[in-house]
Chain A
Amino acid sequence: MDYDVLVVGSGIGGMESALKLGDMGYKVLVVEKEASVGGRMILLSKVFPTLDCASCISTPKMAQTIHHPNLTVLTYSEVEGIARNGGGQFHAKVKRKARYVDEVACTGCQKCETACTVAVPDQFNADLVARRAAYIAFPQAVPKKAVIDRQGSSPCTFACPAGIEAHGYVSLIRSGEYEKAHRLVLDATPLVGTLGRACYAPCESECTRGSLEGTLPIRRLKRFISDRHVESGEDLGIEVAAANGHRIAVVGSGPAGLTAAWQLARKGYAVKIYEAASEPGGFLRLAIPSYRLPVEVVERDIQNVRDLGVEIATSTPVRDLEALKAEGYDAVLLATGTPRSSGLGVPGEDRLGVMGGTDFLRKVKLDQPVDMAGKQVVVVGGGNVAMDAARVARRLGAASVTVAYRRGRAEMPAHHVEADDAEKEGVAFTFQVAPAEVVGDASGAVSGLRCVRMALGEPDSSGRRRPEPIKGSEFVIPCQVIIAAIGMTPDTAAFAGTVGVGRNGALQADPKTLQTSVPWVFAAGDVVNGATDITRAVGEGRRAAHMIDRWLTGGMLDGFDLRLPVVDKQQVLARQKTYTIRPAAKDGVTLEAAPRDFREVEAGLTEAEAHEASGRCMDCAVCSGCHECVAACPVDGCIDLQARDQELEVEVGAVVVSTGYKLFNADLKPQYGFGQYRNVITGMQMDRLLAPTRPFNTILRPSDGKVPERIAYVMCTGSRDETVGNPLCSKFCCMYSVKQNQLIMGALPLAEVTVHYMDIRAAGKRYDEFYEQSKSMGATYVKGRVAKITEKENGDLVLRYEDIENGGTLVDAEYDLVVLAVGVQPNREAAMLFPEDKLAEDEYFYVAEPDEDLNPGVTSIPGVFVAGAAAGAKDIVDSILHAGAAAAQVAAHLERTQAKTKVPA
């Protein structure tokens, strides 16, 4: 057996039971779901009737609980289930929720909290003020250790194949930290400007805001920080490790190669990139048209890589990997992409005027002569290269451009935006046609493309409907230029003798480690996977750098993808009942029907637009992954954003359920206006306003920050009320209201306090005297129910009530602030702790004590006991008494059953 007793919950009842049992010599495990012990009492202003400071008398008990030699306390942990194990003992499963902060190393300095960029309602301040995603529960928290509220991966971040912390940089932009946002993207790739323009933004497809008025423009936000960085002229600000003596050759300078080189250089490797073309950048520099991705943007991103000392040798194709090895490289990465255009495979394709899609785009990007003026052009294919080729041809003065695709528009692999934009620029489409022959004239030049019409059959392995030729449907599209953009293939013949080459010339490499059959050769990106997109290539480059580093440092080739599970978007949306719909960002694209130049078609976001757009982020995972906490933390390694929950299983001799109570949800009394009128607050909120650690600088009304002069209390809100299913008196609302009345009159001597009540229940030692003292201090007590509350334009509240002691007349009275003395309700999570044995509840759904008159604390399950308000509404004094009784019952049970780990001292 691991512990004599498991105590679930560490409010005043739980702490008291645990301490008493610990003092008796029993080994006790305390499990608390919040990040601190103490429950609600520590959050109160003072206690009644003594008006002792709640913090002052709670914190010693909290510290005792944590430091008691016989107590083990797990905060930020949840009991997932308790079952009897057959020997009269219990088996409990406990989840230790990831704090993402090393509990031992954390000094409680709050620097992470101050640096955090995400604001959420502070549950420890009854939602009156914001806390941060990184937070310490409250100033007197025990243990005083930070927690990061990180509920998984945000959908945008999770969706990024490049592993870019999309939520993180959006959050930093929202906070005006543009350089930090830029550096966060640089942490993944040097291609910030490039991806800000040419990425197809899978992050945006997953943005939860898309379910409301529309996705955030996450890609353009990336462009914004890139452009701002350039304007600022600031250094990259990236940390680079000291040289480690290893040399790496990267073959190919596309997105995979550049990203891998960047990451390796940051780790201290000496990296040289070998590029066969005359310019570095691969597809980015030599294919994507400038109206989508200006050359200077790509060159700027490539300069980022050079700035880390990476050498780029252009016009230097690699044909002999062994020779490269002989030059002293410790590892080689092949990232040569798919530079070759696939041919049409039809008769006549060698005629003058037929060219490959990437060949055509490359010529244009290199300013080589391509004559399109006045010509009829047919582009064969339905991918992004086809769209690029068609739009470039338009810009070069083609008389007409027609895209011929063998399937339908819905099946086109091109991004739909590209196709839509091409159409707006005057590109024509003809669908379900396939080339059959290039028709030429006597000189050998193209004069047309003979096509056959296609019918779409059953779906093929790609899930798209298979095109099948229709007999006798051939026709000719007159044209002088045909651009074949039906696919791209790698150029890997030179490597075939060294590493494995598969179908279509793709290199063979382990999909996780990216290692080829030759251990020192790795391969990444399109040369392995076939043509994909920039973002995936970037991700492959990052993975390759990680694996090469692991291999050269003798580590296991794993540990690359450490993403937490993605959060459920429906759960994110369910955090709010209503949403304000914000205008979605305009796309910023300006298209002309007959474009004649290569100016960028998309405008960047202005600062105001970027701020507005980033402000729409819903913080799906709460923590954004901006890493500001990590940077601010003075203890290296203290914060680990990749931490995982841990599951524990323990055997215990007995269980104490001290899960406390729930406060009544005041918006279930809509006639009182809670949740509709800001100046209607709950008693718990008033206790926070009165506490020394209050969320405001004093008692202020929430509608406008005015110091209230007329304050009303509405008693029995949600208690003694059959209409909300709670006929029970909550027992302590009268007294906490009386306490607050006195504290308010002390803090605001000019304030008038009026209490609307049915009857005051002041049964307890010195309670009635306390009530009388409140009246003598000036509080007014009016007997009669409040019928409803309405709000005036200035935020003042009008209470309509029955004045029983003055003839039962209906009266309207105005107040600045109304406090609802909300009652309590059972915490039904208690019963769910026991999925197999039913923990009986009483008729009001509190944990039942079948023999409560003579055996308080004993539940329906032998060996399971209940302490404090989990068994029914109790004030602090009664909770402590009840918890003591429960501890005695536990001790008696353990002695009786001899189910204990050691003899009590």
Chain B
Amino acid sequence: MSTTRIREIREIIREEPVMQPRILQALEGGPRTVPEIAEAIGCPTDEVLFWVMGMRRYGKIREVPGANADGYFRYSRPDWTVSA
């Protein structure tokens, strides 16, 4: 059973502006899932989801259509293309 205490949503969301550049940097090499982004920036996946969805809402990242075999979507920088 997990014993890790989750942080308050307000506190996590408040940090979104700080985390944006780190997440964008993690996506420089191409699209990644939330767990992959979390591993890259060293933060919990639930917190990364808040930041990713906040960034998605304001057009800073977008999802790649279709979830992978494990059930995760990948997210990319808006300017990312397959050939990039």
Are A618 and B53 interface neighbours, CB within 8 A? no
Are B14 and A700 interface neighbours, CB within 8 A? no
Please tell me which stretch of A545-553, A598-606, A646-654, A789-797 contacts chain B, meaning at least 4 of its Cβ atoms lie within 8 angstroms of it. Answer: A789-797
B54 to chain A, nearest CB (A): 4
Chain B residues positioned under 8 Å from A791 (CB to CB): 1-2
Within 8 A of A (CB), among B14-53: 14-18, 20-21, 33-35, 38, 45-46, 48-50, 52-53
Within 8 A of B (CB), among A678-733: 678, 695-698, 700, 702-709
Quick one: closest B residue to A127, CB to CB? B9
Please tell me which stretch of A399-407, A508-516, A572-580, A757-765 contacts chain B, meaning at least 4 of its Cβ atoms lie within 8 angstroms of it. Answer: A572-580
Query: In the complex, A612→B11 CA distance in Å?
Result: 14
Are A790 and B1 interface neighbours, CB within 8 A? yes
A752 to chain B, nearest CB (A): 13
Q: Which of B2, B10, B20, B70 contacts A706 (CB 8 A)?
A: B70
Q: Which of B1, B11, B59, B70 contacts A579 (CB 8 A)?
A: B11
Q: Which of B6, B13, B20, B72 contacts A707 (CB 8 A)?
A: B72
1/0 per residue B48-83: CB within 8 Å of A? 111011101111000100010011110000000000
Are A129 and B7 interface neighbours, CB within 8 A? no
Query: In the complex, A589→B5 CA distance in Å?
Result: 36
A611 at the interface (CB under 8 A from B): yes
A593 at the interface (CB under 8 A from B): no
Q: Which of A120, A129, A793 contacts B14 (CB 8 A)?
A: A120
Query: In the complex, A341→B14 CA distance in Å?
Result: 49
Quick one: closest B residue to A705, CB to CB? B34
Q: Which of B10, B49, B58, B67 contacts A576 (CB 8 A)?
A: B10
Query: In the complex, A372→B45 CA distance in Å?
Result: 62
A72 to chain B, nearest CB (A): 33
**Contacts A120-B10, A792-B2 hold; do A707 and B35 have CB atoms under 8 A apart?**
no
Query: In the complex, A612→B17 CA distance in Å?
Result: 11
1/0 per residue A102-137: CB within 8 Å of B? 000000000001100111110000011110100000
A505 at the interface (CB under 8 A from B): no
Chain A residues positioned under 8 Å from B73 (CB to CB): 697-698, 700, 705, 707
A615 at the interface (CB under 8 A from B): yes
Quick one: closest B residue to A704, CB to CB? B45
Chain B residues positioned under 8 Å from A127 (CB to CB): 9
Question: How many residues does chain A have at the interface if contact means C-beta atoms less than 8 Å apart?
Answer: 51
**Contacts A114-B59, A176-B21, A704-B35 hold; do A130 and B11 have CB atoms under 8 A apart?**
no
Are B17 and A792 interface neighbours, CB within 8 A? no
Interface range for B: 35 or more
Are B49 and A704 interface neighbours, CB within 8 A? yes
A174 at the interface (CB under 8 A from B): yes
Query: In the complex, A611→B20 CA distance in Å?
Result: 11
**Contacts A121-B10, A127-B9 hold; do A703 and B50 have CB atoms under 8 A apart?**
no
Chain B residues positioned under 8 Å from A117 (CB to CB): 17
Quick one: closest B residue to A614, CB to CB? B18
Chain A residues positioned under 8 Å from B13 (CB to CB): 119-121, 130
A216 to chain B, nearest CB (A): 13
Are A615 and B53 interface neighbours, CB within 8 A? no
A701 to chain B, nearest CB (A): 9
Query: In the complex, A576→B10 CA distance in Å?
Result: 7
Quick one: closest A residue to B58, CB to CB? A114
**Contacts A114-B59, A129-B54, A791-B2 hold; do A174 and B70 have CB atoms under 8 A apart?**
no
Most buried by B among A171, A577, A791: A791
A277 to chain B, nearest CB (A): 44
Quick one: closest B residue to A694, CB to CB? B53
Are B17 and A129 interface neighbours, CB within 8 A? no
Q: Which of A121, A175, A615, A704 contacts B9 (CB 8 A)?
A: A121
Query: In the complex, A580→B4 CA distance in Å?
Result: 13
Chain B residues positioned under 8 Å from A702 (CB to CB): 46, 49
Chain B residues positioned under 8 Å from A611 (CB to CB): 18
Chain A residues positioned under 8 Å from B53 (CB to CB): 128-130, 695-696
B32 to chain A, nearest CB (A): 11
Query: In the complex, A844→B12 CA distance in Å?
Result: 36
A240 to chain B, nearest CB (A): 30
A898 at the interface (CB under 8 A from B): no
Query: In the complex, A121→B20 CA distance in Å?
Result: 16
A619 at the interface (CB under 8 A from B): yes
Are B49 and A700 interface neighbours, CB within 8 A? yes
Chain B residues positioned under 8 Å from A121 (CB to CB): 9-10, 13
Chain A residues positioned under 8 Å from B1 (CB to CB): 790-793
Are A130 and B7 interface neighbours, CB within 8 A? no
Within 8 A of B (CB), among A568-591: 575-580
Chain B residues positioned under 8 Å from A504 (CB to CB): none
**Contacts A678-B6, A795-B2 hold; do A706 and B14 have CB atoms under 8 A apart?**
no
Query: In the complex, A499→B5 CA distance in Å?
Result: 67
Query: In the complex, A790→B1 CA distance in Å?
Result: 7
Quick one: closest B residue to A130, CB to CB? B54
Are B14 and A704 interface neighbours, CB within 8 A? no
A85 at the interface (CB under 8 A from B): no
Chain A residues positioned under 8 Å from B58 (CB to CB): 113-114, 132
Query: In the complex, A124→B58 CA distance in Å?
Result: 16
Are A130 and B2 interface neighbours, CB within 8 A? no
Chain B residues positioned under 8 Å from A175 (CB to CB): 17, 20
Quick one: closest A residue to B74, CB to CB? A705
A665 at the interface (CB under 8 A from B): no
**Contacts A576-B8, A697-B73 hold; do A705 and B54 have CB atoms under 8 A apart?**
no
Chain B residues positioned under 8 Å from A697 (CB to CB): 56, 63, 73
The 7 closest A-B pairs by CB, nearest first: A705-B34, A130-B54, A615-B18, A704-B45, A707-B71, A119-B16, A175-B17
* A-B CB contact pairs (8 Å), 20 listed: A118-B14, A119-B16, A119-B17, A128-B53, A130-B13, A576-B10, A578-B8, A579-B11, A675-B6, A695-B53, A703-B45, A703-B46, A704-B34, A705-B34, A705-B48, A706-B71, A707-B71, A708-B71, A795-B2, A795-B45
Given contacts A174-B17, A704-B38, 19 further A-B contacts (CB under 8 A): A114-B58, A118-B14, A119-B13, A119-B14, A120-B14, A121-B9, A128-B53, A130-B50, A176-B20, A575-B10, A576-B8, A577-B8, A579-B8, A580-B7, A580-B11, A703-B45, A790-B1, A791-B2, A795-B2
